[in-house]
Amino acid sequence: MSTPIPMQLSRIIISEISDNQVIYLKEVDGERQFPILIGIFEATSIDRRVKAKATPPRPLTHDLIVNIADALGAQIESVVISDLQDQTYFAHLRLRRGEDVIEIDSRPSDAIAVAVTFQPPLPIYVTEEVLEKVTGQ
């Protein structure tokens, strides 16, 4: 497997008349980009964090994930979108606990929502194989 490519969240499109919302990831040092369809909850959570809107009075699900990792002595390091099968993306959160790297299976939308709870946001990577499938490049 090749080295994952650094990406950044470039756009969030929220539509109140559609079940699917869209986020776009763009290559940090390149031109390739692609959309991922996500649910309204994840899109809203990502949008609120990116726009630095008011912090909720109680932890949301993505805050809870961060709090659990902290309580277990692990640091969430990055998000990797690692596969695309039948129009479904696969991702994982990479956590470090001491010398151990732990990869947790995740939907890309949830992993990105976790990434943007940090300031600055955690790195987002996509494998070259996924980028080739979605961009043809």
At 20 the pLDDT is 86
Report pLDDT for 54.
67
Q: How far apart are the C-alpha atoms of 9 and 32, rounded to whole Å?
A: 12
The kind and range of the H/E element at 8 are strand 5-13
In the block, residue with structure tokens 């987002």: 124
**Ranges under pLDDT 50 in the chain:** none
For residues 106 and 80, what is the distance between their CA atoms, to the nearest angstrom?
9
Q: Which pLDDT score, from 0 to 100, does residue 11 have?
A: 94
pLDDT given at position 1: 57
Question: What's the whole-number average pLDDT of the chain?
Answer: 91
Rounded CA-CA distance 81/117 in Å is 18
Q: What is the pTM of this model?
A: 0.90
Of 85, 92, 95, whose CA–CA distance to 133 is shortest?
85
Domains, the chain, with CATH or none? 5-135 (3.10.690.10)
